[in-house]
Structure 1
Amino acid sequence: METRSNHVLVGAVVLILLALVALFTVWIARIGGAEERDYDIFFRQAVDGLAKGSSVTFSGVPSGQVKSISLWKPDPQYVRVRISVNNDTPILRGTTATIQGSFTGTSTVSLDGAIKGAQPITCPEGDAAKSVCPLGVPVIPTKTGGIGAILNSAPQLLERLSTLTERLTGMLSDRNQASIAGILDNTNRLTDALADRGPEIAATLAQTRIAIQQAGNAAEQIGALAQTTNGVLANDVQPAMANLNKAITSAQQSADTLNSAIGDARPGLTTFSKQTIPQVNQLVRDLRVTASSLKSISERVEQGGASSLVGQPALPDYKGK
């Protein structure tokens, strides 16, 4: 009985000591370790190579680990990744998360892009927290990059490569190949013809250069002729034009003098036309009357003599039957 009681006592002491050691170890770990904060990341892409316990880095510096991975039930297109990072990691506004793959098949969550002086990513208070932090922890936005971006765009890339291959196959059909061969043959014949015509082409180019030179000389001669014409105009035509201008000026002055003389004679002409001409007309009429009277007197003298001027004309004798 005593032996069994001693064994139970020893076992109890050992268990107590082990518990104390475990508690001491946890306490030491808490003292030596830093506090951590949890964040959610919603990836709209495959998370191949990512698992619970995968490393989380900030700008390449190990800063935490992945705590859990699950599909987001409200929208299965998203994969929710819960991470925990050290409390001193600067998860500020502008920080984004990407999945960095490797050739070994393991992936890590990479954080970067924090803006200096920005506020930390936290959950707001009130009703807005449900939309911003649906599971009660802050959400870090994502961006596609690295191998993940290549893998996500791989289907589109393969589709485009397939389309390009089909088009190239259509272009390289037997008919198109024959056409391309014909074009190459024609090009070769044209090249040979140009090579054979090389001397003629060179002669043509030489003649062209001579023609261009002659055209330049003709242009210079035309310029000299234009200068000579300008000189003639300046030396001969301009004096003649000056004399002509003087003659025109003299004629203008003469015309002005004649206009002045006519203006001076105009009152006399007016008086002559209004007074003298009517008087002359009256004189002519009086002369006509006088001439008629003299004609009548001469006729009376001829018929009756001078006595007819002072007496009545004698009546003719009447003889009765």
Structure 2
Amino acid sequence: METRANYIIIGLFTLAVIAAGFGFVWWFNGSNSRGPRASYDVVFSGPVSGLQTGSAVTFNGIPVGEVTRLRLDKEDPRKVVATVAVQPDTPVKSDTRAELDAQVLTGLASVGLIGGSATATPLPTPTEGQLPRIEADASAVQDLMQGARQVMGRVDDIARRVDDLLRDNEGKISSVIDNVDKFTTVLGNNADTINGLITDVGAAARRIDQLAGNLDKTVTSVEPDKVRAIVDNVAQFSTQLEGMTSKVNAILDNVNGLTSGEEGKGMFNEIAAAAAEVRKLAANLDTRTAELTANLNEFTGPGLRQYQALAVDGRRTLAEIERVFRKLESNPRQFLFGGSSVPGYTGR
């Protein structure tokens, strides 16, 4: 029985300590919420990540209340309305501004009220059944988080595009890498040739530098007086050309008068008649030439072949005649009487 009594005492003591702890926490957290409260609606134009019912409300950094309700604006769903309850002596006036104070590490958020001037007027009296409204400003942390999300979204989009580009052009990239490998291999195998080429280029550069120096010396050695004399001669030549312009104009006028006068017209008529005769003579010559060409073509065609056959037959006939004469000359008796000899006469 004594042992059981000790266990009961220890258990009761443990429960008392736990209840005292809970009571202290409730007293510590709820000390500010006890007593009368003034409620306001704080309107946020955007997301309120980390803000929840029971989140703290501060005024110039001092805790003055908590968030009692969160809801969407009925007129504009993009806006969030947070109902806050603060101590009645909190100087909330018409120029009081609100913002969302977010804790980057914990992710929790609170509503921060920033006081205005002492001479500012109180908030306007709302309609019946409504609470006074405070329009919240975008906090620096909220802007930073939103900007970070946008940047991360863009980075993710760029990474996705790069991945798609690499995937679609994997074969081409492999081909480029192979070509680079081949090119470096060729460069390694022809290192001596490349070194010789670089040496030749260096020698050519030195020669160009030397040539430029010689050209500079040549330009420097030119006497300015001679250059002036050449320029003066060119100017004099131009002046002489200007003086000859009148003579050229006079010659052209004479030629124009000759061609437009009666004598000129008669001379050009005679020239035209002579040209017509020359064209007629050329036409006749062309006709004669065509006839001669046709005759020559006719002769060189079938006429030439007939002449060749006639010549062959004539040569053959002459050969027969020559053969007959040779027989007559060698044995005229045989040619006249035939046979091998003249028949003998026996007298019978």
Question: Same fold per TM (> 0.5)?
Answer: no
Q: Normalising by structure 2, report the TM-score.
A: 0.42
